[in-house]
Structure 1
Amino acid sequence: LAPFEEMSDEMRDFHIDVNIKGVWNTCQAVIPYMLEQGGGSIVIASSVTGDIVADAGEAAYAMTKAALVGLTKCLAVEYADRHIRVNCSQLGYARTPMVEKMAIESNPENPESAIQDIAVGVPMKRLADPLEVGELFAFLGSDEASYLTGSQIVIDGGSTLPETMSMGTN
Structure 2
Amino acid sequence: MSEFKDKVVLITGGAAGLGKCLAENFAKEDAKIVLVDINHDKLEETKAALNLGDRCITVSADVSKESEIIKYVEKAKQHFGKIDIFCNNAGIVINQQIKETDEASLDKIWGINMKGFYLGMKHVILAMEENGGGAIVNTGSVDSYSAAIGNALYTSSKYAVLAMTRCAALEEADKGIRVNLVCPGPINTDLMRDFEKRKNPDNPQAIIDSFSSQIPLGRYAEPQDVVNAILFLASEKASYITGTKIVVDGGWTHE
TM-score, normalised with respect to structure 2: 0.61
Instruction: Please list the CA deviations of residues 7-43 of structure 1 after superposition, one character each: whole Å capped at 9, or x if unmatched.
Output: 1111111110111111112112211221111110000
Which residue pairs with 1:80 in the alignment? 173
2 CA distance for matches of 1:100 and 1:56?
A: 19
Matched, 1:68 2:161: yes
Aligned partners of 2:113 and 2:157 also within 8 Å:
yes
Which residue pairs with 1:26 in the alignment? 120
Cα distance, 1:79 vs structure 2: 0.5
RMSD between aligned residues = 1.3
Identity, % of aligned positions? 36
- Structure 2 unaligned regions, length at least 5: 1-94
Matched, 1:17 2:111: yes
Matched, 1:38 2:132: yes
Aligned partners of 2:196 and 2:205 also within 8 Å:
yes
Which residue pairs with 1:95 in the alignment? 188
Residue aligned with 1:29, SS: helix
- Equivalent residue runs for 1:93-132 within 5 Å: 93-132=186-225
2 CA distance for matches of 1:70 and 1:128?
A: 24
Instruction: Please list the CA deviations of residues 117-149 of structure 1 after superposition, one character each: whole Å capped at 9, or x if unmatched.
Output: 100100000000011111111111111110000
Residue aligned with 2:140, SS: strand
1 CA distance for matches of 2:168 and 2:243?
A: 8
Which residue pairs with 2:85 in the alignment? none
Cα distance, 1:68 vs structure 2: 0.8
Q: Which moved more, 1:151-160 or 1:130-139?
A: 130-139
Which residue pairs with 1:5 in the alignment? 99
Residue aligned with 1:42, SS: strand
1 CA distance for matches of 2:126 and 2:222?
A: 33
Which residue pairs with 1:167 in the alignment? none
Distance 1:116 1:72, change over 3 A: same
Q: Which moved more, 1:94-103 or 1:84-93?
A: 94-103
Corresponding letter in the other structure for 1:140: L
Aligned partners of 2:144 and 2:162 also within 8 Å:
no
Corresponding letter in the other structure for 1:94: I
Aligned partners of 2:189 and 2:223 also within 8 Å:
yes
Ranges of 4+ aligned residues in structure 1 off by more than 6 Å: none
Corresponding letter in the other structure for 2:238: A
How many residues align? The count is 161
Residue aligned with 1:41, SS: strand
Which residue pairs with 1:49 in the alignment? 143
Cα distance, 1:161 vs structure 2: 2.0
Cα distance, 1:67 vs structure 2: 0.7
Pairing partner for 1:143 from 224, 236, 244: 236
2 CA distance for matches of 1:54 and 1:150?
A: 22
Between 1 and 2, higher relative CO (CA 8 Å, sep ≥ 6) is seen in: 1
2 CA distance for matches of 1:3 and 1:83?
A: 41
2 CA distance for matches of 1:78 and 1:115?
A: 40
